[in-house]
Structure 1
Amino acid sequence: MPLPQPDGHGDKETRGRVLVVAGSVPVPGGALLAGIGVLRAGAGKLQIATAASIAPHLGLALPEALVAGLPETADGEIAPDSAGALSERASRCDTVLIGPGMMNEAAVADLTAELLTRLEAGENGPRFVLDAGALAGLRRNAAALHRHEGRVVITPHAGEMAGLLGCSRDRVDADPLGCARQAADRLKAVVALKGSCTRIVAPDGRAWAYRGGTVGLATSGSGDTLAGIVTGLLARGASPEQAAIWGVYLHGEAGNRLTRRIGPLGFLARELLAEIPAVMAALASDPDGR
Protein backbone atom coordinates (compact mmCIF):
# COMPACT_ATOMS: atom_id res chain seq x y z
CA MET A 1 0.00 0.00 0.00
CA PRO A 2 2.65 2.55 -1.05
CA LEU A 3 2.12 6.24 -0.51
CA PRO A 4 1.61 8.44 -3.59
CA GLN A 5 4.93 10.01 -4.58
CA PRO A 6 5.43 13.31 -6.44
CA ASP A 7 6.84 12.72 -9.91
CA GLY A 8 9.32 15.59 -9.75
CA HIS A 9 7.56 17.65 -12.41
CA GLY A 10 4.63 19.03 -10.42
CA ASP A 11 4.51 22.08 -8.15
CA LYS A 12 3.11 22.48 -4.65
CA GLU A 13 -0.45 22.50 -6.02
CA THR A 14 -0.08 18.86 -7.04
CA ARG A 15 0.53 17.85 -3.40
CA GLY A 16 -2.76 19.30 -2.24
CA ARG A 17 -4.27 22.30 -0.49
CA VAL A 18 -5.15 21.87 3.18
CA LEU A 19 -7.34 23.92 5.50
CA VAL A 20 -6.81 23.37 9.23
CA VAL A 21 -9.70 24.65 11.36
CA ALA A 22 -8.20 24.61 14.83
CA GLY A 23 -7.00 26.41 17.91
CA SER A 24 -8.47 28.65 20.58
CA VAL A 25 -7.20 31.29 22.96
CA PRO A 26 -6.58 28.68 25.71
CA VAL A 27 -4.90 26.19 23.32
CA PRO A 28 -3.39 27.97 20.30
CA GLY A 29 -0.69 25.32 20.03
CA GLY A 30 -3.11 22.69 18.75
CA ALA A 31 -3.40 24.53 15.45
CA LEU A 32 0.36 25.02 15.27
CA LEU A 33 1.21 21.36 15.85
CA ALA A 34 -1.42 20.14 13.40
CA GLY A 35 -0.34 22.63 10.75
CA ILE A 36 3.32 21.66 10.97
CA GLY A 37 2.27 18.00 10.79
CA VAL A 38 0.44 18.70 7.51
CA LEU A 39 3.57 20.16 5.93
CA ARG A 40 5.99 17.59 7.37
CA ALA A 41 3.86 14.84 5.79
CA GLY A 42 4.44 16.45 2.41
CA ALA A 43 1.31 18.48 1.62
CA GLY A 44 1.86 21.38 -0.75
CA LYS A 45 -0.14 24.34 0.62
CA LEU A 46 -1.48 25.10 4.08
CA GLN A 47 -4.14 27.45 5.40
CA ILE A 48 -5.12 27.73 9.06
CA ALA A 49 -8.44 29.21 10.19
CA THR A 50 -8.48 30.08 13.88
CA ALA A 51 -9.78 32.54 16.47
CA ALA A 52 -9.05 36.12 15.41
CA SER A 53 -7.05 37.15 18.47
CA ILE A 54 -4.46 34.38 18.05
CA ALA A 55 -4.24 34.44 14.24
CA PRO A 56 -1.35 36.95 14.03
CA HIS A 57 0.68 34.95 16.52
CA LEU A 58 0.15 31.71 14.60
CA GLY A 59 1.10 33.49 11.38
CA LEU A 60 4.45 34.44 12.91
CA ALA A 61 5.01 31.01 14.44
CA LEU A 62 4.23 29.26 11.14
CA PRO A 63 5.23 31.61 8.31
CA GLU A 64 4.71 28.85 5.74
CA ALA A 65 0.92 29.05 6.22
CA LEU A 66 -1.82 31.49 5.30
CA VAL A 67 -3.57 32.18 8.61
CA ALA A 68 -7.12 33.56 8.65
CA GLY A 69 -8.70 34.99 11.78
CA LEU A 70 -12.36 34.19 12.47
CA PRO A 71 -14.92 35.74 14.84
CA GLU A 72 -14.57 34.22 18.28
CA THR A 73 -16.76 33.53 21.29
CA ALA A 74 -16.31 35.15 24.70
CA ASP A 75 -14.15 32.22 25.79
CA GLY A 76 -11.83 32.50 22.80
CA GLU A 77 -13.24 29.76 20.57
CA ILE A 78 -14.06 30.02 16.87
CA ALA A 79 -17.67 31.21 16.69
CA PRO A 80 -20.10 28.61 15.25
CA ASP A 81 -21.56 31.21 12.88
CA SER A 82 -18.20 31.29 11.06
CA ALA A 83 -19.35 28.28 9.02
CA GLY A 84 -20.41 30.38 6.02
CA ALA A 85 -17.03 32.03 5.56
CA LEU A 86 -15.24 28.80 6.36
CA SER A 87 -17.21 26.75 3.84
CA GLU A 88 -16.22 29.12 1.05
CA ARG A 89 -12.54 28.77 1.99
CA ALA A 90 -12.80 24.99 2.51
CA SER A 91 -14.45 24.46 -0.88
CA ARG A 92 -11.20 25.53 -2.53
CA CYS A 93 -9.14 22.97 -0.60
CA ASP A 94 -8.54 19.26 -1.12
CA THR A 95 -8.52 18.30 2.55
CA VAL A 96 -9.93 19.86 5.72
CA LEU A 97 -8.89 19.10 9.29
CA ILE A 98 -11.22 20.22 12.09
CA GLY A 99 -10.77 20.04 15.83
CA PRO A 100 -7.26 20.32 17.34
CA GLY A 101 -7.07 22.81 20.19
CA MET A 102 -10.82 23.57 20.18
CA MET A 103 -12.18 23.20 23.71
CA ASN A 104 -15.86 24.19 23.69
CA GLU A 105 -17.45 20.93 22.55
CA ALA A 106 -20.90 22.39 21.87
CA ALA A 107 -19.52 25.21 19.71
CA VAL A 108 -17.18 22.86 17.80
CA ALA A 109 -19.98 20.34 17.25
CA ASP A 110 -22.24 23.00 15.74
CA LEU A 111 -19.47 24.36 13.53
CA THR A 112 -18.45 20.88 12.33
CA ALA A 113 -22.02 19.82 11.52
CA GLU A 114 -22.66 23.06 9.62
CA LEU A 115 -19.49 22.69 7.56
CA LEU A 116 -20.20 19.05 6.73
CA THR A 117 -23.71 20.05 5.62
CA ARG A 118 -22.66 23.06 3.55
CA LEU A 119 -19.68 21.59 1.70
CA GLU A 120 -20.13 19.68 -1.53
CA ALA A 121 -19.97 15.90 -1.20
CA GLY A 122 -18.27 13.46 -3.55
CA GLU A 123 -15.28 13.85 -5.81
CA ASN A 124 -15.72 17.61 -6.18
CA GLY A 125 -15.70 18.23 -2.44
CA PRO A 126 -12.87 18.10 0.10
CA ARG A 127 -11.91 15.16 2.25
CA PHE A 128 -11.92 15.45 6.03
CA VAL A 129 -9.98 14.54 9.15
CA LEU A 130 -11.94 15.08 12.37
CA ASP A 131 -10.11 15.11 15.69
CA ALA A 132 -10.52 16.19 19.30
CA GLY A 133 -13.38 18.69 19.70
CA ALA A 134 -14.83 17.95 16.27
CA LEU A 135 -15.68 14.42 17.41
CA ALA A 136 -18.02 15.50 20.19
CA GLY A 137 -21.17 16.03 18.12
CA LEU A 138 -20.80 13.25 15.55
CA ARG A 139 -23.09 10.86 17.40
CA ARG A 140 -26.08 13.18 16.90
CA ASN A 141 -24.89 14.60 13.56
CA ALA A 142 -24.08 11.34 11.76
CA ALA A 143 -26.30 12.24 8.79
CA ALA A 144 -24.08 15.22 7.95
CA LEU A 145 -21.05 12.93 8.07
CA HIS A 146 -22.72 10.29 5.87
CA ARG A 147 -22.86 12.81 3.00
CA HIS A 148 -19.08 12.44 2.75
CA GLU A 149 -18.94 8.64 2.98
CA GLY A 150 -15.59 7.25 1.89
CA ARG A 151 -13.85 10.61 2.38
CA VAL A 152 -13.44 10.95 6.16
CA VAL A 153 -10.94 9.86 8.82
CA ILE A 154 -11.63 10.27 12.54
CA THR A 155 -8.92 9.94 15.20
CA PRO A 156 -10.47 9.37 18.66
CA HIS A 157 -8.82 8.14 21.83
CA ALA A 158 -10.73 5.71 24.05
CA GLY A 159 -12.62 8.40 25.96
CA GLU A 160 -13.75 10.09 22.75
CA MET A 161 -14.75 6.72 21.31
CA ALA A 162 -16.94 6.10 24.37
CA GLY A 163 -18.67 9.41 23.66
CA LEU A 164 -19.17 8.52 20.00
CA LEU A 165 -20.83 5.22 20.87
CA GLY A 166 -22.64 6.34 24.03
CA CYS A 167 -20.94 3.67 26.13
CA SER A 168 -18.47 3.49 28.99
CA ARG A 169 -14.73 3.82 28.52
CA ASP A 170 -14.38 0.43 30.20
CA ARG A 171 -16.26 -1.13 27.29
CA VAL A 172 -13.92 0.52 24.78
CA ASP A 173 -10.87 -0.65 26.73
CA ALA A 174 -12.26 -4.19 26.86
CA ASP A 175 -12.99 -4.42 23.11
CA PRO A 176 -11.20 -1.68 21.18
CA LEU A 177 -11.41 -3.45 17.82
CA GLY A 178 -15.12 -4.17 18.18
CA CYS A 179 -15.84 -0.58 19.18
CA ALA A 180 -13.75 0.81 16.33
CA ARG A 181 -15.62 -1.42 13.87
CA GLN A 182 -18.96 -0.29 15.28
CA ALA A 183 -18.01 3.38 14.97
CA ALA A 184 -16.62 2.97 11.43
CA ASP A 185 -19.83 1.28 10.32
CA ARG A 186 -22.12 3.74 12.08
CA LEU A 187 -20.29 6.87 10.90
CA LYS A 188 -19.19 5.57 7.45
CA ALA A 189 -15.67 6.81 8.18
CA VAL A 190 -12.19 5.36 8.65
CA VAL A 191 -11.46 5.18 12.38
CA ALA A 192 -8.00 5.37 13.95
CA LEU A 193 -8.63 4.47 17.60
CA LYS A 194 -5.52 5.65 19.40
CA GLY A 195 -3.90 3.66 22.20
CA SER A 196 -0.89 1.53 23.09
CA CYS A 197 -2.15 -0.58 20.18
CA THR A 198 -3.78 1.73 17.66
CA ARG A 199 -6.59 0.17 15.62
CA ILE A 200 -7.37 1.43 12.13
CA VAL A 201 -10.72 0.25 10.77
CA ALA A 202 -12.45 0.92 7.44
CA PRO A 203 -16.26 1.17 7.20
CA ASP A 204 -16.41 -2.28 5.56
CA GLY A 205 -14.75 -3.84 8.62
CA ARG A 206 -11.20 -4.28 7.32
CA ALA A 207 -8.79 -3.61 10.17
CA TRP A 208 -5.12 -3.00 10.86
CA ALA A 209 -3.17 -2.62 14.12
CA TYR A 210 0.01 -0.76 15.04
CA ARG A 211 1.74 -1.97 18.18
CA GLY A 212 5.19 -0.56 17.54
CA GLY A 213 4.95 2.77 19.33
CA THR A 214 6.60 3.95 22.52
CA VAL A 215 5.18 5.11 25.84
CA GLY A 216 6.58 8.59 25.18
CA LEU A 217 3.93 9.16 22.50
CA ALA A 218 1.37 9.54 25.29
CA THR A 219 2.15 13.22 25.78
CA SER A 220 0.35 16.53 25.43
CA GLY A 221 -0.12 17.54 21.80
CA SER A 222 0.73 14.15 20.35
CA GLY A 223 -2.78 13.65 18.96
CA ASP A 224 -2.64 17.03 17.22
CA THR A 225 0.55 16.01 15.44
CA LEU A 226 -1.01 12.70 14.32
CA ALA A 227 -4.09 14.46 12.95
CA GLY A 228 -1.88 16.81 10.96
CA ILE A 229 0.22 13.98 9.52
CA VAL A 230 -2.88 12.05 8.41
CA THR A 231 -4.29 15.21 6.83
CA GLY A 232 -1.08 15.89 4.93
CA LEU A 233 -1.03 12.36 3.53
CA LEU A 234 -4.66 12.69 2.42
CA ALA A 235 -3.79 15.91 0.63
CA ARG A 236 -0.99 14.14 -1.22
CA GLY A 237 -3.53 11.72 -2.67
CA ALA A 238 -3.59 8.81 -0.23
CA SER A 239 -6.95 7.10 0.35
CA PRO A 240 -8.51 7.60 3.81
CA GLU A 241 -7.50 4.15 5.08
CA GLN A 242 -4.04 4.51 3.55
CA ALA A 243 -3.54 7.94 5.12
CA ALA A 244 -4.66 6.65 8.53
CA ILE A 245 -2.43 3.57 8.41
CA TRP A 246 0.64 5.45 7.24
CA GLY A 247 -0.03 8.39 9.55
CA VAL A 248 -0.15 6.12 12.59
CA TYR A 249 3.00 4.29 11.45
CA LEU A 250 5.01 7.47 10.74
CA HIS A 251 3.93 9.00 14.05
CA GLY A 252 4.95 5.86 15.94
CA GLU A 253 8.29 5.50 14.17
CA ALA A 254 9.08 9.17 14.85
CA GLY A 255 8.56 8.39 18.54
CA ASN A 256 10.88 5.38 18.28
CA ARG A 257 13.62 7.55 16.77
CA LEU A 258 13.30 10.05 19.60
CA THR A 259 13.29 7.25 22.16
CA ARG A 260 16.61 5.98 20.85
CA ARG A 261 18.15 9.46 20.80
CA ILE A 262 16.59 11.14 23.86
CA GLY A 263 14.98 8.45 25.99
CA PRO A 264 11.60 6.79 26.38
CA LEU A 265 9.99 9.70 28.25
CA GLY A 266 10.26 13.47 28.06
CA PHE A 267 10.42 14.22 24.35
CA LEU A 268 7.88 16.78 23.15
CA ALA A 269 5.09 16.38 20.63
CA ARG A 270 6.62 19.13 18.50
CA GLU A 271 9.85 17.12 18.26
CA LEU A 272 8.02 14.25 16.57
CA LEU A 273 7.32 16.34 13.51
CA ALA A 274 10.91 16.96 12.43
CA GLU A 275 11.42 13.17 12.32
CA ILE A 276 8.63 12.51 9.79
CA PRO A 277 10.53 13.39 6.57
CA ALA A 278 13.45 11.19 7.63
CA VAL A 279 11.16 8.23 8.35
CA MET A 280 9.53 8.64 4.93
CA ALA A 281 12.89 8.97 3.19
CA ALA A 282 14.26 5.86 4.90
CA LEU A 283 11.24 3.85 3.78
CA ALA A 284 11.54 5.16 0.22
CA SER A 285 15.17 4.08 0.00
CA ASP A 286 14.61 0.74 1.72
CA PRO A 287 10.93 -0.34 1.58
CA ASP A 288 11.67 -3.61 3.39
CA GLY A 289 13.04 -1.75 6.40
CA ARG A 290 16.47 -3.36 6.41
Structure 2
Amino acid sequence: MNDGTITSEFLGRIPLSQPAEDGDKDQRGRVLVIAGSASVPGAALLAATAALRAGAGKLQIATCQSIAIHLGLALPEALVVGLPETPSGEIDPSTAVLLRERISRCDAVLIGPGMLDEQGVSALTADLLDCDPGAAFVLDAGALAQLKDIADVLARHKGRMVITPHAGEMANLLGVDKHDVLRNPAEIAGQAASLLHCVVALKGPCTYIATPDGATWTYSDGNVGLATSGSGDTLAGIVAGLLARGVSPLEAAQWGVFLHGEAGNRLAQTRGPLGFLARELLAEIPAIMAKFHKA
Protein backbone atom coordinates (compact mmCIF):
# COMPACT_ATOMS: atom_id res chain seq x y z
CA MET A 1 0.00 0.00 0.00
CA ASN A 2 1.23 3.45 -0.87
CA ASP A 3 0.85 6.51 1.27
CA GLY A 4 -1.08 9.32 -0.38
CA THR A 5 -3.51 12.20 -0.35
CA ILE A 6 -7.24 11.59 -0.21
CA THR A 7 -8.94 13.38 -3.10
CA SER A 8 -11.95 12.71 -5.30
CA GLU A 9 -9.56 11.30 -7.93
CA PHE A 10 -8.04 8.94 -5.37
CA LEU A 11 -11.46 7.72 -4.21
CA GLY A 12 -12.55 7.24 -7.81
CA ARG A 13 -10.04 4.39 -7.90
CA ILE A 14 -11.57 2.69 -4.82
CA PRO A 15 -15.31 3.10 -5.44
CA LEU A 16 -17.86 2.15 -2.83
CA SER A 17 -19.62 -1.10 -3.63
CA GLN A 18 -23.27 -0.56 -4.50
CA PRO A 19 -26.12 -2.83 -3.36
CA ALA A 20 -28.14 -4.58 -6.03
CA GLU A 21 -31.15 -2.64 -7.26
CA ASP A 22 -33.42 -5.43 -6.04
CA GLY A 23 -31.56 -5.76 -2.72
CA ASP A 24 -33.20 -5.14 0.64
CA LYS A 25 -32.07 -3.33 3.79
CA ASP A 26 -30.40 -6.48 5.15
CA GLN A 27 -27.98 -6.35 2.23
CA ARG A 28 -26.86 -2.88 3.34
CA GLY A 29 -26.01 -4.03 6.85
CA ARG A 30 -27.03 -3.40 10.44
CA VAL A 31 -25.31 -0.81 12.61
CA LEU A 32 -25.53 -0.40 16.38
CA VAL A 33 -24.74 3.00 17.91
CA ILE A 34 -23.94 2.87 21.63
CA ALA A 35 -23.89 6.51 22.60
CA GLY A 36 -25.35 9.43 24.48
CA SER A 37 -25.94 10.51 28.05
CA ALA A 38 -28.55 12.56 29.87
CA SER A 39 -26.35 15.63 29.36
CA VAL A 40 -25.49 15.00 25.70
CA PRO A 41 -28.33 13.06 24.05
CA GLY A 42 -27.79 14.79 20.71
CA ALA A 43 -24.48 13.05 20.06
CA ALA A 44 -26.28 9.74 19.68
CA LEU A 45 -28.79 11.34 17.31
CA LEU A 46 -26.08 12.87 15.12
CA ALA A 47 -23.98 9.71 14.93
CA ALA A 48 -26.95 7.42 14.30
CA THR A 49 -28.42 9.64 11.59
CA ALA A 50 -25.00 9.82 9.94
CA ALA A 51 -24.83 6.01 9.77
CA LEU A 52 -28.10 5.93 7.82
CA ARG A 53 -27.03 8.79 5.56
CA ALA A 54 -23.89 6.79 4.71
CA GLY A 55 -26.11 3.99 3.45
CA ALA A 56 -26.52 1.49 6.31
CA GLY A 57 -29.74 -0.50 5.97
CA LYS A 58 -30.77 -1.03 9.59
CA LEU A 59 -30.08 1.13 12.62
CA GLN A 60 -30.18 0.42 16.33
CA ILE A 61 -29.34 2.88 19.10
CA ALA A 62 -28.46 1.79 22.64
CA THR A 63 -28.55 4.67 25.10
CA CYS A 64 -29.64 5.76 28.57
CA GLN A 65 -33.15 4.80 29.56
CA SER A 66 -34.10 8.39 30.37
CA ILE A 67 -33.44 9.65 26.85
CA ALA A 68 -34.34 6.57 24.80
CA ILE A 69 -37.93 7.54 24.02
CA HIS A 70 -36.86 11.01 22.95
CA LEU A 71 -34.30 9.60 20.54
CA GLY A 72 -36.88 7.18 19.20
CA LEU A 73 -39.22 10.05 18.40
CA ALA A 74 -36.44 12.19 16.93
CA LEU A 75 -35.23 9.33 14.72
CA PRO A 76 -38.21 7.09 13.93
CA GLU A 77 -36.11 5.01 11.53
CA ALA A 78 -34.20 3.49 14.47
CA LEU A 79 -34.83 0.73 16.95
CA VAL A 80 -33.90 2.36 20.26
CA VAL A 81 -32.89 0.36 23.33
CA GLY A 82 -33.04 2.06 26.72
CA LEU A 83 -30.27 0.89 29.05
CA PRO A 84 -29.84 1.15 32.82
CA GLU A 85 -27.98 4.31 33.72
CA THR A 86 -25.83 5.64 36.50
CA PRO A 87 -26.98 8.38 38.91
CA SER A 88 -25.05 10.89 36.80
CA GLY A 89 -27.02 9.96 33.66
CA GLU A 90 -24.48 7.78 31.88
CA ILE A 91 -24.90 4.28 30.44
CA ASP A 92 -24.19 1.83 33.27
CA PRO A 93 -21.05 -0.21 32.45
CA SER A 94 -22.78 -3.34 33.72
CA THR A 95 -25.00 -3.27 30.61
CA ALA A 96 -22.27 -4.98 28.57
CA VAL A 97 -23.94 -8.33 29.13
CA LEU A 98 -27.18 -6.93 27.67
CA LEU A 99 -25.41 -5.62 24.58
CA ARG A 100 -23.21 -8.53 23.59
CA GLU A 101 -25.96 -10.58 21.93
CA ARG A 102 -27.13 -7.51 20.05
CA ILE A 103 -23.58 -6.83 18.87
CA SER A 104 -23.28 -10.40 17.61
CA ARG A 105 -26.16 -9.71 15.20
CA CYS A 106 -24.73 -6.45 13.84
CA ASP A 107 -22.25 -5.71 11.07
CA ALA A 108 -20.83 -2.54 12.63
CA VAL A 109 -20.82 -1.01 16.11
CA LEU A 110 -20.03 2.55 17.13
CA ILE A 111 -19.19 3.27 20.78
CA GLY A 112 -18.54 6.58 22.49
CA PRO A 113 -20.26 9.73 21.19
CA GLY A 114 -21.79 11.79 23.97
CA MET A 115 -20.55 9.51 26.77
CA LEU A 116 -18.84 11.73 29.34
CA ASP A 117 -17.84 9.40 32.19
CA GLU A 118 -14.39 8.39 30.97
CA GLN A 119 -13.93 5.61 33.52
CA GLY A 120 -17.39 4.17 32.95
CA VAL A 121 -17.28 4.21 29.17
CA SER A 122 -13.76 2.75 29.20
CA ALA A 123 -14.96 -0.16 31.33
CA LEU A 124 -17.98 -0.70 29.08
CA THR A 125 -15.82 -0.55 25.95
CA ALA A 126 -13.32 -3.07 27.32
CA ASP A 127 -16.10 -5.50 28.21
CA LEU A 128 -17.80 -5.15 24.83
CA LEU A 129 -14.58 -5.67 22.88
CA ASP A 130 -13.73 -8.79 24.87
CA CYS A 131 -15.79 -10.90 22.49
CA ASP A 132 -15.35 -13.15 19.47
CA PRO A 133 -14.37 -11.21 16.33
CA GLY A 134 -17.29 -10.43 14.06
CA ALA A 135 -18.68 -6.93 13.83
CA ALA A 136 -16.44 -4.05 12.82
CA PHE A 137 -16.06 -1.33 15.46
CA VAL A 138 -15.71 2.44 15.47
CA LEU A 139 -14.48 3.94 18.73
CA ASP A 140 -14.83 7.65 19.40
CA ALA A 141 -14.72 10.18 22.24
CA GLY A 142 -14.92 8.57 25.68
CA ALA A 143 -14.41 5.06 24.30
CA LEU A 144 -10.83 5.96 23.37
CA ALA A 145 -9.44 6.88 26.77
CA GLN A 146 -7.96 3.62 28.02
CA LEU A 147 -7.53 1.58 24.85
CA LYS A 148 -3.79 1.31 25.42
CA ASP A 149 -4.54 -0.92 28.43
CA ILE A 150 -6.45 -3.46 26.31
CA ALA A 151 -4.22 -3.62 23.23
CA ASP A 152 -4.17 -7.44 23.46
CA VAL A 153 -7.98 -7.49 23.28
CA LEU A 154 -7.98 -5.17 20.28
CA ALA A 155 -5.51 -7.43 18.47
CA ARG A 156 -8.09 -10.24 18.46
CA HIS A 157 -10.32 -8.16 16.18
CA LYS A 158 -7.74 -8.47 13.39
CA GLY A 159 -7.79 -4.83 12.37
CA ARG A 160 -11.57 -4.58 11.98
CA MET A 161 -11.63 -1.36 13.95
CA VAL A 162 -11.40 2.37 13.31
CA ILE A 163 -10.69 4.98 15.97
CA THR A 164 -11.38 8.68 15.41
CA PRO A 165 -9.53 10.83 17.99
CA HIS A 166 -8.74 14.51 17.79
CA ALA A 167 -5.34 15.68 19.04
CA GLY A 168 -6.40 16.00 22.68
CA GLU A 169 -7.97 12.56 22.76
CA MET A 170 -4.91 11.06 21.09
CA ALA A 171 -2.64 12.67 23.67
CA ASN A 172 -4.77 11.25 26.47
CA LEU A 173 -4.86 7.83 24.83
CA LEU A 174 -1.09 7.54 24.43
CA GLY A 175 -0.11 9.47 27.55
CA VAL A 176 1.80 12.16 25.66
CA ASP A 177 1.58 15.93 25.46
CA LYS A 178 -0.95 17.36 23.03
CA HIS A 179 1.77 19.55 21.53
CA ASP A 180 3.70 16.39 20.63
CA VAL A 181 0.67 15.14 18.72
CA LEU A 182 0.32 18.44 16.88
CA ARG A 183 4.03 18.53 16.01
CA ASN A 184 4.21 14.95 14.70
CA PRO A 185 0.67 13.90 13.70
CA ALA A 186 1.66 11.35 11.05
CA GLU A 187 4.14 9.65 13.36
CA ILE A 188 1.73 9.64 16.30
CA ALA A 189 -1.13 8.28 14.20
CA GLY A 190 1.13 5.49 12.97
CA GLN A 191 2.26 4.64 16.49
CA ALA A 192 -1.34 4.38 17.67
CA ALA A 193 -2.35 2.24 14.70
CA SER A 194 0.51 -0.19 15.36
CA LEU A 195 -0.06 -0.31 19.11
CA LEU A 196 -3.83 -0.76 18.91
CA HIS A 197 -4.00 -2.93 15.77
CA CYS A 198 -6.55 -0.64 14.13
CA VAL A 199 -7.05 2.07 11.54
CA VAL A 200 -6.56 5.54 13.02
CA ALA A 201 -8.18 8.72 11.74
CA LEU A 202 -6.45 11.51 13.65
CA LYS A 203 -8.77 14.48 13.12
CA GLY A 204 -7.62 18.03 12.58
CA PRO A 205 -7.21 20.73 9.90
CA CYS A 206 -5.27 17.98 8.16
CA THR A 207 -6.60 14.53 9.08
CA TYR A 208 -4.11 11.66 9.14
CA ILE A 209 -5.25 8.11 8.48
CA ALA A 210 -2.81 5.39 9.47
CA THR A 211 -2.80 1.60 9.37
CA PRO A 212 -0.93 -0.92 11.55
CA ASP A 213 1.47 -1.71 8.70
CA GLY A 214 2.77 1.87 8.65
CA ALA A 215 0.91 3.38 5.68
CA THR A 216 -0.46 6.90 6.08
CA TRP A 217 -2.92 9.03 4.10
CA THR A 218 -3.89 12.66 4.55
CA TYR A 219 -6.99 14.74 3.90
CA SER A 220 -6.74 18.52 4.13
CA ASP A 221 -9.47 19.81 1.81
CA GLY A 222 -12.06 20.54 4.51
CA ASN A 223 -12.67 23.95 6.06
CA VAL A 224 -12.69 25.64 9.45
CA GLY A 225 -16.50 25.51 9.65
CA LEU A 226 -16.21 21.79 10.40
CA ALA A 227 -14.62 22.66 13.74
CA THR A 228 -17.98 22.83 15.50
CA SER A 229 -19.92 20.94 18.17
CA GLY A 230 -21.09 17.53 17.01
CA SER A 231 -18.94 17.41 13.90
CA GLY A 232 -16.88 14.49 15.22
CA ASP A 233 -20.04 12.55 16.05
CA THR A 234 -21.17 12.83 12.45
CA LEU A 235 -17.80 11.59 11.16
CA ALA A 236 -17.85 8.57 13.46
CA GLY A 237 -21.39 7.76 12.34
CA ILE A 238 -20.50 8.01 8.66
CA VAL A 239 -17.60 5.57 9.13
CA ALA A 240 -19.86 3.16 11.05
CA GLY A 241 -22.49 3.28 8.31
CA LEU A 242 -19.90 2.48 5.65
CA LEU A 243 -18.56 -0.42 7.70
CA ALA A 244 -22.09 -1.79 8.02
CA ARG A 245 -22.29 -1.80 4.21
CA GLY A 246 -19.21 -4.03 4.09
CA VAL A 247 -16.60 -1.39 3.28
CA SER A 248 -13.16 -2.28 4.69
CA PRO A 249 -11.98 -0.33 7.78
CA LEU A 250 -9.30 1.54 5.82
CA GLU A 251 -11.61 2.52 2.98
CA ALA A 252 -14.40 3.40 5.42
CA ALA A 253 -12.02 5.82 7.14
CA GLN A 254 -10.80 7.27 3.85
CA TRP A 255 -14.28 7.69 2.42
CA GLY A 256 -15.72 8.85 5.74
CA VAL A 257 -13.19 11.64 6.17
CA PHE A 258 -13.72 12.77 2.57
CA LEU A 259 -17.53 12.70 2.74
CA HIS A 260 -17.46 14.64 5.99
CA GLY A 261 -15.07 17.24 4.60
CA GLU A 262 -16.89 17.60 1.28
CA ALA A 263 -20.21 18.04 3.09
CA GLY A 264 -18.59 20.91 4.98
CA ASN A 265 -17.35 22.43 1.73
CA ARG A 266 -20.82 22.34 0.23
CA LEU A 267 -22.29 24.02 3.27
CA ALA A 268 -19.55 26.63 3.28
CA GLN A 269 -20.67 27.60 -0.22
CA THR A 270 -24.40 27.67 0.51
CA ARG A 271 -24.46 28.82 4.16
CA GLY A 272 -21.13 30.59 4.60
CA PRO A 273 -17.72 29.50 5.90
CA LEU A 274 -18.79 29.66 9.56
CA GLY A 275 -22.03 28.96 11.34
CA PHE A 276 -23.35 25.85 9.63
CA LEU A 277 -24.33 23.06 12.01
CA ALA A 278 -23.11 19.51 12.37
CA ARG A 279 -26.60 18.18 11.76
CA GLU A 280 -26.69 20.03 8.44
CA LEU A 281 -23.76 17.98 7.19
CA LEU A 282 -25.84 14.84 7.14
CA ALA A 283 -28.24 15.65 4.31
CA GLU A 284 -25.28 16.37 2.02
CA ILE A 285 -23.81 12.87 2.24
CA PRO A 286 -26.10 10.92 -0.15
CA ALA A 287 -25.65 13.40 -3.01
CA ILE A 288 -21.87 13.31 -2.65
CA MET A 289 -21.86 9.51 -2.81
CA ALA A 290 -24.29 9.56 -5.77
CA LYS A 291 -21.93 11.79 -7.73
CA PHE A 292 -19.29 9.06 -7.59
CA HIS A 293 -21.78 6.33 -8.42
CA LYS A 294 -22.93 8.14 -11.56
CA ALA A 295 -19.36 8.73 -12.63
Instruction: Specify if TM > 0.5.
Output: yes
State the match for 1:46 in structure 2: 59
| Paired position in structure 2 for 1:11 | 24
The sequence identity of aligned pairs, in percent, is 67
The yes-or-no answer on 1:100 pairing with 2:117 is no
**Counterpart position of 2:3:** none
Q: CA deviation at 1:149?
A: 2.1
2:97 corresponding residue in structure 1: 84
**2-side partners of 1:165 and 1:114: how far apart?**
20
Pair 1:113-2:126 in alignment = yes
Structure 2 partner of 1:229: 238
The separation in 1 between residues aligned to 2:148 and 2:33, in whole angstroms, is: 22
Q: 1:98-154 deviations in whole A, cap 9, x for unaligned?
A: 00000000000000000001x211xxx111000001001102122221111220000
CA distances 1:57-82 after superposition (whole Å, capped 9, x unpaired): 00000000000000000000000000
Q: 2: distance between equivalents of 1:99 and 1:76?
A: 14
CA distance in 2, matches of 1:48, 1:202: 28
User: What CA distance in whole angstroms lies between the structure 2 residues aligned with 1:267 and 1:277?
Assistant: 18
TM-score by length of 1: 0.96
Ranges of 4+ aligned residues in structure 1 off by more than 6 Å = none
**5+ residue gaps in structure 2?**
1-13
Partners of 1:198 and 1:285 lie apart in 2 by 27
1:55 offset after TM fit, Å? 0.2
Residues 120 and 126, structure 1, Cα contact 8 Å, conserved in 2: no
Superposed CA offset, 1:148-184 (max 9, x none): 1220000000001111211000000000000000000
Distance 2:146 2:99 in 1: 18
How far apart, in 2, do the equivalents of 1:253 and 1:223 lie? Answer: 14
**Aligned partners of 2:15 and 2:292 also within 8 Å:** no
How well do the aligned residues superpose, as a CA RMSD in angstroms?
0.7
Aligned to 1:169: 178
Distance in 1 separating the partners of 2:270 and 2:159:
39
Paired residue for 2:147, among 138, 144, 158? 138
- Find 2:270's aligned residue among 251, 261, 277: 261
Q: What residue ranges of structure 1 are gaps of 5+ in the alignment?
A: none
The 3-state SS of whatever aligns with 2:147 is: coil
What is the one-letter code of the residue matched to 1:46? Answer: L
What code does the residue aligned with 1:120 have? Answer: D
Structure 1: how far apart are the matches of 2:102 and 2:65?
16
Does the Cα contact within 8 Å between 1:217 and 1:269 map onto a contact in 2?
yes
1:241 is matched with 250
Does the Cα contact within 8 Å between 2:33 and 2:110 map onto a contact in 1?
yes
In 1, the alpha carbon distance for the partners of 2:238 and 2:18 equals 15
Indicate the larger mover: 198-207 or 107-116: 198-207
- Name the structure 2 match of 1:158: 167
* C-alpha displacement of 1:207: 1.2
What secondary structure is seen at the aligned counterpart in 2 of 1:141?
A: helix
